[in-house]
Amino acid sequence: MESFEDPAPILLRHFRGHHGPITCLAYNSNQHSNKLASSSTDKSVNLWNTEDRIRCFKFSGHSDIVNGVAWSHNGQLMATASKDRTIKVWVPTVRGSSCTFPALSAVRSVEFHPKDRKLVTATDDKAVKLWSIDTKRFAQSFLGHTNRVNCARYSPSGKTVASCSDDRTLKLFDVNSGECVQTFTERGNVHGNDVAWHPNGGLIAIALSNSQIKIFDIKARKLIQLYSVHLDGVNSIAFHPSGNLMITASEDGSTKVLDLLEGRPIYTLVGHDDAVTAVTFSGDGSNFATASKDKQIMLWSLNMDIINDNDISSAQRSIENDRNMGNILDTSVMIDPRKTTHYKFCPDDYDIME
């Protein structure tokens, strides 16, 4: 009798090329693109062709750690944020060029506006800042944080910016007025490392240093989901394009796949040799990538049929389930790429771009 296994993520490829821990991952925003960018403490950004295991391009130009990388909405530009107090915007081709935006302090994250030629950054000088690509100048500051800002993200509409800081707050800023319109505050010595907008724009998620992930309903101004599924701080989170799954990266060396409609983790992925620092979905949601302090990137096939149901507001049971998290963890399936035939290395053969 033929047996059928439940669908589960499959490791497709394993990329090596950085000489330091990887800090951020970003898929090209084109829905069918196979380009994946990675930033690193080795002061560079690598651009990988995920369907070609032979080659990647290295972008050099920063003089210190590159903390973040992002793609423009049309996939034609790439931006990088660095500890060297600069933001660079690249034309990511062999004969491409770059322009530099000077900042006053280390830049922690960078993201393009979903429609316009603008950037938003999070910086160590306690500010969220907007930049104009056309004028190549600083445009506006959003003030209110009292400690360094770790991450800033545009909402899907581009009308709101969410930011998290070492000051224990998650803040929402109105882009037009520059005013802080909402603040969520954590108790104790807890801060946010990453924020992510749900595709419907009505929910915001935060990855916390105390190993939790929280999802807030913006309109209701309340917490609707809480996950305590990791053993250490959460570094990065990403929503699936459908809105009903999330992937998480933790200092504990694991990646979790969360079913937001059921309010529970469904897969635990292990295999990195150190903390997992970044996760990202491809534009069509069929694949995702994980990166680590171990200097390696793993490319996964989600291998699941996804129902396009963006309404997770009713799935508030995870707040209650958090009190019985031991039972939830028992439903999570461990997947170790070191024990699968899908584990492949990519040659360290790449071109250098200055």
User: How far is C-alpha 64 from the geometric centre of its chain's CA atoms?
Assistant: 21
Of the two residues 343 and 196, the one the predictor is more confident about is: 196
pLDDT of 207 strictly over 90: yes
Segment 266-270 mean pLDDT: 94
pLDDT at res. 33: 75
pLDDT of 329 strictly over 70: no
Measured CA to CA, the distance from residue 344 to residue 337 in angstroms comes to: 9
pLDDT of 327 strictly over 90: no
Lowest mean pLDDT segment, chosen from 5-19, 209-223, 314-328? 314-328
pLDDT tier for residue 54 given thresholds of 50, 70 and 90: low
Of the two residues 305 and 85, the one the predictor is more confident about is: 85
Q: What is the pLDDT of residues 15-35, one digit of tens each?
A: 889 999 999 999 998 767 789
- DSSP line for 150-188: EEEEE-TTSSEEEEEETTSEEEEEETTT--EEEEEE--S
pLDDT at res. 29: 81
pLDDT at res. 322: 47
Q: What is the pLDDT of residues 220-265, one digit of tens each?
A: 999 999 999 999 999 999 999 999 999 999 999 999 999 999 999 9
Of the two residues 350 and 284, the one the predictor is more confident about is: 284
Q: Where are the domains of the chain?
A: 10-345
Close Cβ partners of 339 (under 8 Å, ≥ 6 residues apart): none
Both tokens of 254, joined, read: 């694991």
pLDDT tier for residue 333 given thresholds of 50, 70 and 90: confident
pLDDT at res. 313: 58
Measured CA to CA, the distance from residue 125 to residue 273 in angstroms comes to: 33
Q: Please, what is the average pLDDT of the chain?
A: 88
Segment 188-210 mean pLDDT: 97
Q: What is the pLDDT of residues 273-321, one digit of tens each?
A: 999 999 999 999 999 999 999 999 999 999 987 766 556 655 555 554 4
pLDDT at res. 227: 97
* Burial letters 334-347, b for 16+ CB under 10 A, else e: ebebeeeeeeeebe
Measured CA to CA, the distance from residue 19 to residue 43 in angstroms comes to: 9
Q: What percent of the chain has pLDDT over 90?
A: 74
CATH architecture of 10-345: 7 Propeller (2.130)
pLDDT tier for residue 353 given thresholds of 50, 70 and 90: low
Q: How far is CA 279 from CA 161, 192, 234, 272, in A?
A: 20, 16, 11, 13
